[in-house]
Amino acid sequence: MSDRMVFKVEGVGKKFCRSHRHSMFYGTCDVLRGMLGRPSHSQTLRAQEFWALEGITFGLRPGERLGLLGANGSGKSTLLRLLAGIYQPDAGRIEVRGKICALIALGAGFHPLLTGRDNVYLNGAILGMSKRAIDRCFEQIVEFAGVGEFLDAPVKTYSSGMYVRLAFAVAVHSNPKVLVVDEILAVGDAAFQKKCFEQVAALNEQGTALVFVSHSMSAVERLCTSALVLSRGRQAFQGKVREAVQFYSGTVGNGIVQNGAVPEPIGLGEVTFSNVCVYADGGAVADPNIEFGKDFVIQFDYKFLRVQTHDTQVRVWVRTIDGRDVQRLAFQECAFEDQSSYANVKILPLREAGTVKIKVLRPCLFPQTFRVDVAMAPVDRGIHLGGLNNAALFNIVHPRNPGMYFEYGNHTITEFEYSVTLS
């Protein structure tokens, strides 16, 4: 291992078994083989086994901050457990120099019936701290966690935020060489997350390396200097954090886009939609990656299959990938019956067929994947003449200039400003 490395991962692989029955059998065989001093079948795949991680190679130097990016099931948590020494690799090797402190689950070893005070000592002991060392920093732990008045209450009465604050406070005071943090910080509120980031930065200056997993790319980009992208258990990319985030958004994230965008027709089928796409204003139509804060275009073609008999409203929804509404845009051919119109509804004539371009101005959407649903309906009725759910997906990616985030103040998503062009 290079002199300056705190750990080095070389060609590491980890396999799991899909079938519990097979797993029981293999486990028994492996124990018996171990008893007889014979090697287990760790490097070969037996029936029902699969590689959850394969060929992972990287190293970390003191003070380095590595982000782990990847979709669900890509192997991030398995890799963290390998780094923390909880799992043993089935292939390759991991060399560690110094103490690794892993925050993989909320309050490892915390007992719900014991008080916060008792749990600080228990958790500290699990992290390898002596009682004397815990005594020395006890006040700092309590202050950092901000659980002062509840310190002698059982932790089962704590909120999840208090739980994670206490666990994180103990971990950062255990003086680790490497801090491994899974997504648990997402439980804390914004103020605590800020405090955590500052504490991590302070530890970092003292030479503590960080491995950080999060689905929040803004958090990864803010905390880490480099990143590793995992895709289906393989190392898809390793490099500077900005490049890794862009790679993840553009490649792995796009994988989600392509795989997930299975349009689902809705309504009476009296109007069809096609060529639905979302792209950066001024960018390539085929590129669904849009930089944070930049204008983008939602474009689609429509065609009425039957002669219009209604004043029609065009409805476009921007939703998160799991279906939560972010914004609804609508424009229609006339005002409502009472001649009113909603602030966000524009009045525009529709032809029998055409192309719609909706330009969304300065959207405050934070980096993640979104989906677009489109539909047309009579202004005065709830039924859809036609439409497509999951019509297109797009990624909001990090801005080249992180200062963009600050221009958006308290990060509240406000109603989109947009313009519509029909052709």
Partner 1 sequence: MVGNVVSSRELIWQLFKRDFLAGSKQSALGLLWILITPLVGIVSWVVMNAVGVLHPGEVGVPYPIYVLCGTTIWGMFMGFYSSAAASLTSAGGLLAQARFSHEALVAQQLAQAVIAALANLALLAAVWAVGGLSVHWSALWFPVSLLPLVLLGTGIGLIVSVFAVVVHDITKAVTTLLGLLMFATPVIYASNVPHDWLQRVIWWNPLTYLVGGARDLLLEGRINHMSSYAGAVAFALGLFFMAWRLFFLSEQKVAERL
Q: How far apart are CA 285 and CA 277, in angstroms?
A: 7
* DSSP structural state of residue 187: G
Which CB sits closer to partner 1, 86 or 201?
Answer: 86
Smallest CA-to-CA distance from 385 within 313, 317, 319, 277 is with 313
* Residue 280: partners with Cβ closer than 8 Å, 6 or more residues away: 287, 289, 290, 291, 294, 295, 296, 297
The CA radius of gyration of the chain, in Å to the nearest whole number, is 26
Which CB sits closer to partner 1, 85 or 323?
Answer: 85
Q: How far is the CB of 178 from partner 1 (least distance, A)?
A: 12
Q: Which of 12, 69, 127, 329 binds partner 1 (CB under 8 A)?
A: 127
The one segment of 66-74, 106-114, 189-197, 366-374 that binds partner 1 by CB under 8 A: 106-114
Check: CB of residue 299 under 8 Å from CB of residue 357: yes
The answer to the question of residue 215 lying near partner 1 (CB under 8 A) is no
Q: How far is the CB of 122 from partner 1 (least distance, A)?
A: 5
Q: Which of 108, 153, 266, 348 binds partner 1 (CB under 8 A)?
A: 108
DSSP 48-113: TEEEEEEEEEEEE-TT-EEEEEE-TTSSHHHHHHHHTTSS--SEEEEEE-S-EEEE-STTTT--TT
3-state secondary structure at position 206? coil
Beta bridge partners of 328: 317
The answer to the question of residue 109 lying near partner 1 (CB under 8 A) is yes
The answer to the question of residue 152 lying near partner 1 (CB under 8 A) is no
Number of residues this chain uses to bind partner 1 (CB under 8 A): 33
Which CB sits closer to partner 1, 112 or 207?
Answer: 112
Q: How far apart are CA 312 and CA 348, in angstroms?
A: 10
Query: H or E element: which one contains 190?
Result: helix 190-205
The answer to the question of residue 114 lying near partner 1 (CB under 8 A) is yes
Which CB sits closer to partner 1, 17 or 280?
Answer: 17
The answer to the question of residue 230 lying near partner 1 (CB under 8 A) is no
Q: Which of 68, 102, 211, 245 binds partner 1 (CB under 8 A)?
A: 102
Q: Which of residues 62-91 bind partner 1 (CB under 8 A)?
A: 81, 84-88
Check: CB of residue 382 under 8 Å from CB of residue 368: no
Q: How far is the CB of 256 from partner 1 (least distance, A)?
A: 28
Q: How far is the CB of 189 from partner 1 (least distance, A)?
A: 23
Q: How far apart are CA 105 and CA 160, in angstroms?
A: 12
The answer to the question of residue 113 lying near partner 1 (CB under 8 A) is yes
The one segment of 30-38, 68-76, 267-275, 314-322 that binds partner 1 by CB under 8 A: 30-38
Q: Which of 1, 31, 47, 305 binds partner 1 (CB under 8 A)?
A: 31
CB burial class (10 A; 0-12, 13-18, 19+) of residue 246? Answer: buried
The answer to the question of residue 157 lying near partner 1 (CB under 8 A) is no
Q: How far apart are the first and last CA of the chain?
A: 64
Q: How far is the CB of 418 from partner 1 (least distance, A)?
A: 47
The answer to the question of residue 60 lying near partner 1 (CB under 8 A) is no
Is the sign of the CA dihedral 352, 353, 359, 364 positive or negative?
positive
The answer to the question of residue 58 lying near partner 1 (CB under 8 A) is no
The answer to the question of residue 43 lying near partner 1 (CB under 8 A) is no
The answer to the question of residue 125 lying near partner 1 (CB under 8 A) is yes
Q: How far is the CB of 131 from partner 1 (least distance, A)?
A: 6
Q: Which of residues 321-360 bind partner 1 (CB under 8 A)?
A: none
The answer to the question of residue 30 lying near partner 1 (CB under 8 A) is yes
The answer to the question of residue 28 lying near partner 1 (CB under 8 A) is yes
The answer to the question of residue 361 lying near partner 1 (CB under 8 A) is no
Q: How far apart are CA 397 and CA 250, in angstroms?
A: 9
The answer to the question of residue 35 lying near partner 1 (CB under 8 A) is yes
Query: H or E element: which one contains 169?
Result: helix 160-172
CB neighbours (10 Å) of residue 412? 7
Which CB sits closer to partner 1, 118 or 333?
Answer: 118
Binding residues for partner 1 (CB under 8 A): 23-24, 27-28, 30-31, 34-35, 40, 81, 84-88, 100, 102, 104-105, 108-109, 111, 113-114, 118, 121-122, 125-128, 130-131
